[in-house]
Amino acid sequence: MKHLPDFRSPAFLREHLLQTMAFYDERVIDPSGGLYHFLRDDGTVYDRHTRHLVSSTRYVFTFANAARHFPEHPQAAKWLETARHALAFVENVHKDPASGGYTWLLHWEGGKKQVVDATQHCYGLAFVLLAHAHALQAGISEARRGLDATIGLMEQRFWQAEAGLYADEAAPDWQLRPYRGQNANMHACEAMLAAYEATGDAFCLNRATTLAESVTQRLAAQAHGLVWEHYHADWSPDWNYNRQDRSNIFRPWGFQTGHLTEWAKLLLTLERLTPDAPEDSWMLHRARDLFAAAVQSGWDRHHSGLVYGFAPEGDPATDTHMKVCDGDKYHWVQAESMAAAAALAERTHDGGYWDWYDRIWLYAWEHFVDHQHGAWFRILTHDNRKLTDQKSPAGKVDYHNMGACYEVLGALERLNGGASIAA
Catalytic residue set? 259, 400
C-alpha distances out from residue 31 to 35, 109, 116, Å: 8, 11, 22
User: Which sign does the torsion angle of CA 343, 346, 347, 348 carry?
Assistant: positive
CA nearest 136: which of 121, 124, 123, 149?
149
DSSP state letters, 299-330? B-TTT-SB-SEEEESS-TTT---EEEEE--EE
- The Cα–Cα gap between 102 and 120 comes to 7
Please, which residues bridge with residue 165 across strands? 160
87 — phi, psi (to 5°)? -65, -35
Handedness of CA 165, 208, 56, 135 (dihedral sign): positive
User: What residue ranges in 196-278 does DSSP mark as E strands?
Assistant: 230-231, 255-256
d(Cα 68, Cα 45) in Å, to the nearest integer? Answer: 27
Map residue 39 onto helix, strand or coil: strand
Question: 259 exposed, middle or buried (CB, 10 Å; 0-12, 13-18, 19+)?
Answer: buried
Hey, which residues does 121 pair with through a beta bridge?
169
